[in-house]
Amino acid sequence: MTIPTLKQSSGSAHTRFLGFGASRGDLSVPNDDLVEPINSSDEWIQQRTGIISRTRASEGVLAVDMATDAAREAIQASGVDPVDIDLVVIATISNVQQSPSMAAVVADRVGANPAAAYDINAACAGYTYAVAQADALIRSGTAHYALVIGAEKLSDVVDPTDRSISFLLGDGAGAAVVGPSDTPGISPTVWGSDGSRADAVGMNSTLIDFREGRSEWPTLRQEGQTVFRWAVWEMAKVARQAIEDAGIAPSDLAAFVPHQANMRIIDEFAKQLGLPDSVVIARDIESTGNTSAASIPLATHRLLQGHPELSGGFALQIGFGAGLVFGAQIIVLP
């Protein structure tokens, strides 16, 4: 009896980014609007975080709505027909309706039905995780074009009286289309986690605690100094590894797009990496705030709008956050 050979899929040798889209919350919330409940000041927030204002979404606007708007812009910018998109991955920690997935709804809204669609939760590193999956699935032949989105409405999970993180957070969605390429456009991803320090940043209770009346609505909290030290020192090592694995040098970078966690972290991060002055650094946090999984694509979108000359250059993007997860890769900007 002849045993048939099992077929396996194979795809494009390389992938690249084809277009970006963005949707920020419709409200601009200055520091002065948040200081009274945390007994603080505009000056204190600016000095500690670099944030002047943050975007937040009105009550009737959901994360899935912002994800849809960002996705439509990214698809238009890419020139890809929505029917050719067969993978939609959304990184989010703030989908208040766990099922159905946000990705499945967005896929239908943008005309990509019946694309494979799922949400992932890797906190502020979620977008880099989604990029890694899109890259691998396209190169394996499992997908052909991917829509990758980071979408958050963090104002739904904020306690306005909390001084540890509430004043940092904003709402928005950033999207990108990834597709096949004749030349390399996405480097190997350096990713991982350190669950031993999971309590450093995360939710302060569970939905079961809330249901049973043992806690208020779960909201985000963080140990600021722990996260700061981890982000600056440990993530600099990850960034250096990503640069090395990509086969380039820091001087080859055109842009640095870190997770927009805190302006002090961004500045110290760049210092630790020894980036030359020629590297454009994304500082979208100043007016958007920390939008977790949405922050890297939002910052990239704004960077490309302000610096079109960066097109075709290398960008280092790195995400890090709750559960102390991290992911970094070098991309070629579209």
Bridge-based pairing of strands 253-258 and 314-321 is parallel
Helices (H) and strands (E) in the chain, counts: 10, 14
Average pLDDT over residues 170-184: 98
Examine the pLDDT at 220 and tell me if it is beyond 80: no
Provide the pLDDT confidence category of residue 216 given band limits of 50, 70 and 90: confident
Q: How far is CA 99 from the centre of its chain?
A: 21
Examine the pLDDT at 234 and tell me if it is beyond 90: no
CB-based contacts of 291, cutoff 8 Å, min separation 6: 55, 150, 152, 154, 169, 170, 171, 172, 260, 298
Specify the pLDDT at position 212: 87
Tokens (6 digits) for 95: 């989908």
Q: What percent of the chain is modeled with pLDDT above 90? A: 83
11-23 pLDDT tens trace: 999 999 999 999 9
Catalytic residue positions, numbered: 124, 259, 290
Provide the pLDDT confidence category of residue 76 given band limits of 50, 70 and 90: very high
Computed over every residue of the chain, the mean pLDDT equals 94
Examine the pLDDT at 326 and tell me if it is beyond 90: yes
Specify the pLDDT at position 322: 67
18-52 pLDDT tens trace: 999 999 999 999 999 999 999 999 999 999 999 99
Specify the pLDDT at position 323: 63
Specify the pLDDT at position 219: 76
Average pLDDT over residues 236-251: 96
Average pLDDT over residues 283-302: 98
Q: How many CB atoms lie within 10 A of CB 9?
A: 9
Average pLDDT over residues 165-169: 93
107-141 pLDDT tens trace: 999 999 999 999 999 999 999 999 999 999 999 99
Q: What percent of the chain is modeled with pLDDT above 70? A: 99
Provide the pLDDT confidence category of residue 304 given band limits of 50, 70 and 90: very high
Provide the pLDDT confidence category of residue 333 given band limits of 50, 70 and 90: very high
Q: Which of 136, 317, 152 is nearest to 235 (CA)?
A: 317
Examine the pLDDT at 233 and tell me if it is beyond 90: no
The model's pTM: 0.95
Average pLDDT over residues 196-208: 80
Angle between helices 126-140 and 295-306 (to 10 degrees): 80
Average pLDDT over residues 193-205: 81
